[in-house]
Amino acid sequence: MPDLSVIIPFVNEYPQVLFTIQNIAQELRDRVDFEIIAVNNFCDEVARQGRKEDQAGAALTAAAALNPWLKVITYRDKLSHWQCKNAAVKASSGRILWFCDAHCIVSRDALFRMFQFYREHHGGLNGTLHLPLTYKIVETRRLIYKLVSEMDRGKLHYSFTSYRDNAAPYRVPCMSTCGMMMTRELYDELGGWPTELGIYGGGENFINFTLAVLGKSVNIMPGEALFHHGEKRGYSWNYLDHKRNQIIAAYLYGGQAWAELFAKNCDGRPNALQAVTQDVFTKCVEHRRRIKSKQKIDLHEWVRRWKRP
């Protein structure tokens, strides 16, 4: 059984995903017992956008036949970065999980040191551990997230801010899930990503602010960056699906009234947003009950603590 499971969703990411996987393998080989689960999300929804599947799936399937640490699976049910991660977790066996996008390069030793630290100290961290990011692949400016909140509008979000160095991992209110490490036990406590999440958006709101109300921590691993390639992808997202994902997240970490407040203040057709919100309440009710039963801190109190001077 591997110690570390690396999870990488991809849709039309050729050849970037091959470089990402080889880079991670070279970082870990002969130092960590690891596996990489790559999830091909090319599906009918992508084809309906007028896109053809590229070579990534076939190339990685061929590579998996030669590399026992690589497993390639497919997720065809719908276009969803988040459901690919759920599918990969189910197919993985490591106690520690690390999530990475299919267009990244990890700095030398950054992931290895992160894994060493998290393996020994995840209990004390009481949450997730994240590498700082760059937005573009050849940039040097390291970034983390900062909290963006408008509580009277039901808005709890994030934006990039400059990384600050430190001698040891430190807490932040929120961070990207690209470069996020967590235990399988923590993933299970969250219930995984909500099964109703669609293409893009909402998944990071869910992770960060559900961790918050559960009394868990989001932590930055000091050091070098995970270099991320911010560019257009081989698929498209749509606005209403994006807002639906955010409404799902708002409901799960904040409850019905919070989600209604958020939806009320979204741009878009009120009737459509209202219909989406009611659908979310019906389909996500069990996941909401699970989170509410484990809640440790009030959402507003958590925000006040982070906003306190």
Whether the pLDDT of residue 307 is over 90: the answer is: no
pLDDT, mean of residues 159-176? 97
pLDDT tens profile 66-102: 999 999 999 999 999 999 999 999 999 999 999 999 9
Whether the pLDDT of residue 18 is over 90: the answer is: yes
CB atoms near residue 153 (< 10 Å): 12
pLDDT tens profile 202-217: 999 999 999 999 999 9
CA 86 from chain center: how many Å? 10
What is the SS3 assignment for 52-111?
A: CCCCHHHHHHHHHCCCCCEEEEECCCCCCHHHHHHHHHHHCCCCEEEECCCCEEECCCHH
pLDDT of residue 309: 60
For residues 235 and 169, which has the higher predicted lDDT (pLDDT)?
Answer: 169
Averaged pLDDT score across all residues of the chain: 96
Whether the pLDDT of residue 124 is over 90: the answer is: yes
